[in-house]
Amino acid sequence: MREDQPSRLLAKLFEHVEPGARLRVLDLGPALPETVDFLGQYRCTLHIVGLQQETPPVIDSELEEDERIALWRAHFQKALGLAETLKVDIILFWDLLNFLSREAITALVEVLLLHLHAGTKAHCFAVHSVAAPPSEVFYGIRDADSFSVRPRFKQPADYQPLSPGQHAALLYCFETDRSVLMRDQRTELLLKAALEPLEAE
């Protein structure tokens, strides 16, 4: 059963995008009809990749860290299937990052970095405390001011939430634009690309 939950940040994600404008969105959650309907008001190129539904690679823990990251990177490159020249305007992480190891997040960021531009924005959920249990719901976009919320029928494996500081360090190509504490003690985050320091190096 679907419910709706207000959001204070979704509107900020789309506030500078005019209806009918061209928009390139990467949705890393499940394909939901309400999200597709909402984005349909834009001239939208929508890439939906339910990474939590993808079978993760089997990685030997005895491999060196850089080798494990390389295997994750190859997995994400194949799963995302993005054209090399594609630059994404909006990335919807949802709560995916809470179910990925640090090595997996490192690899995902390395893949996404090729597809960012200075105006790229992203949205995600993080736990307020690493002791928080995994969320029992997943989200979509109902409208600019609210999420759709549906119960998970199967809990993803490998729940390993990180602190906000750890997330920020791993997502080095983004900076937090705004954050809001939600009623379930999770944090809703609006991110923006921070590419200038990388380009300067």
Q: What is the pTM of this model?
A: 0.91
pLDDT at 201 over 60: no
CB 66 within 8 Å of CB 35? no
In the chain, where the domains are located: 3-200
pLDDT the model gives residue 113: 95
pLDDT band with cut points at 50, 70 and 90 for residue 19: confident
Is CATH 1.10.1060.10 the classification given to domain 3-200?
A: no
Q: 20: how many CB neighbours lie within 10 A of its CB?
A: 9
What are phi and psi for residue 73, nearest 5 degrees?
A: -60, -45
pLDDT band with cut points at 50, 70 and 90 for residue 198: very low
pLDDT digits (tens, 9 = 90+) for 74-96: 999 999 999 999 999 999 999 99
Q: What percent of the chain has pLDDT over 90?
A: 55
- Find all residues with CB under 8 Å of 23, minimum gap 6, and list them: 17, 39, 42, 43, 44, 45, 89, 90
pLDDT digits (tens, 9 = 90+) for 126-177: 888 888 888 888 899 999 899 999 988 777 778 888 887 888 889 999 999 9
